Amino acid sequence: MQKLTRLRHTYPILRRNLFFVGKYNEELDVTDVSWINANGSAMEDAQWRDAGMHCFGMLTDGRSQTTGIRQRGKEATMLLILNAHHEPVEFTLPSCAGGKEWSLLIDTNLSDDCEEESFVVGHPYIVTPPSLLLFRLQPDDTA
């Protein structure tokens, strides 16, 4: 519980007051929230109706605006993965502007004292059942 509280305080994107809407903001060239399927791409309409899909991700882009003022945000980009399937799911970590690696912050099937690991974009991560995972996009220093 302390780890969750610490993460919530460390990453403002986990406690935003502005609702995520999932629409592309042309002015800022960013979508605040995207829904990701296990192959690492954006979910399609048919997948929302697929009763057999039990693992998906929510990508919240830290570059999206944080207030009513239209300006680019400077928060961390996060990927939350939920697996309600009864078997492990191979989840491809998606590509995202601003970074090339994802750092694992939480995997509910690992102990809290595990060291933070990083995985390159496109890496297949085995999501064990049932679980919740939280990744942070490592900023690309060359950007």
CATH topology for 2-139 is Immunoglobulin-like (2.60.40)
Question: Residue 31 belongs to what H/E stretch?
Answer: strand 30-31
* Predicted TM-score (pTM) above 0.85: yes
What digits encode the pLDDT tens for the residues 23-82?
Answer: 887 877 788 999 999 999 999 999 999 998 999 999 998 877 666 666 566 788 999 999
Sketch the domain layout of the chain as residue ranges.
2-139
Which residue is it, tokens 């679980």?
131
Residue 76 class from Cβ within 10 Å (0-12 exposed, 13-18 middle, 19+ buried)? Answer: buried
CA distance 127 to 132: 8
CA distance 104 to 116: 6
What digits encode the pLDDT tens for the residues 67-123?
Answer: 666 656 678 899 999 999 999 999 999 999 889 999 999 999 998 777 789 999 999
DSSP bridge pairs for 23: none
- 12: three-class secondary structure by DSSP: helix
CA distance 33 to 14: 12
